[in-house]
Structure 1
């Protein structure tokens, strides 16, 4: 593992465990078992550390969502399983995200910080497009009459499920519950038997 990944992974864990105030260069060095000054050598400023962490977090979450993104560009007419597979794949992706709530908690911390730091907001928004754009493409392939709006809604739905399970008053839903919830949502969007 590269040192930058070690630093970023440790920063993700610290954000989840201690919040934004607990994320310091020194804390990352100590938690990662790195020599003092290693983190500041890699990410000189706090802003650089936050950017490095957000970049790594985005990469990890894109990896977790890879099965859903593999459907991007598929042709619903040519692939009759596309529509029926999507609820299962989205449910699996949500299940994986809920299984590692550390990443989601860290992302919430970074999202709140991005509301106060325009330079981080720009990076955060760009990262968000990496998640929304493929969903819009998938929904277009499935015949959504408004894929951009439906894509935003599907992503917001997933975010709401995660927030409710991790930070809200809800319980962590089962994979079956997630699949049925996604199927219901898509049925409403697409007007089909999803």
Structure 2
């Protein structure tokens, strides 16, 4: 595995700062300290707060994509297989291993300045999901992708924000299958 690039190192540190300290704590200086870099390093990579927030969103997507694609791809022609794949990824994203990225994502949802970056990330996820559904032969991949995304986002948000809530993968997979039908 190759060492992270400077922008990746800074973005990873920004995710940690955001998850730990919230939006007010996310400063270039705090990210420099978290990354163990000289003062001004974060600013050299991402000049503005908006650029830093966009980098966090992109880095979260990269980390999610790496986690999601670590296993074998699903059979896109099988609604149960696709549903199990997607809901398994929601369970993974809400696991203890991914608590930092999930907290950072929730904090970003509350920040109006992160809105455009979050919206762009959402559209990229929708496009990926729609392409999967189209490849699997779904008759209406666009509307189905939006419905499934809304369901999964809601499950992810509830599992991350309500301590007593856990992901029941079978129940969620059944709901995804019904949406795909």
The TM-score, its normalising length taken from structure 2, stands at: 0.83
1:171 matched to which residue of 2? 165
Verify: 1:56 aligned to 2:59, yes or no. Answer: yes
Are 2:155 and 1:152 equivalent residues in the alignment?
no
Deviation at 1:71, TM superposition (A): 4.8
Q: Of residues 73, 92, 95 in structure 2, which corresponds to 1:96? A: 92
Q: How many matched pairs? A: 176
Sort the Cα spacing of 1:38 and 1:183 in 2 relative to 1 into closer, same or farther, 3 A: closer
Partner residue in 1 for 2:119: 125
Is the CA contact 1:132–1:151 (under 8 Å) kept in the aligned structure 2? Answer: yes
Structure 2: stretches of 5+ with no match in the other structure: none
Counterpart for residue 20 of structure 1: 23
The corresponding residue for 2:5 is: 2
TM-score when normalising by structure 1: 0.78
Q: Which runs of 5+ in 1 are unaligned?
A: 77-81
Alignment of 1:101-112 (within 5 A): 101-112=99-110
Compared CA separation, residues 151 and 70, structure 1 to 2 (3 A): same
- Structure 2 contact 130–141 (Cα < 8 Å) conserved: yes
Please tell me the root mean square deviation across aligned C-alpha atoms, in Å: 2.4
- Counterpart residue number, 1:45: 48
CA 1:69 to 1:106, structure 2 compared with 1: closer, same or farther past 3 Å? Answer: farther
SS at match of 2:107: helix
1:184 equivalent among 154, 174, 177:
174
Q: What's the offset of the Cα at 1:3?
A: 1.3
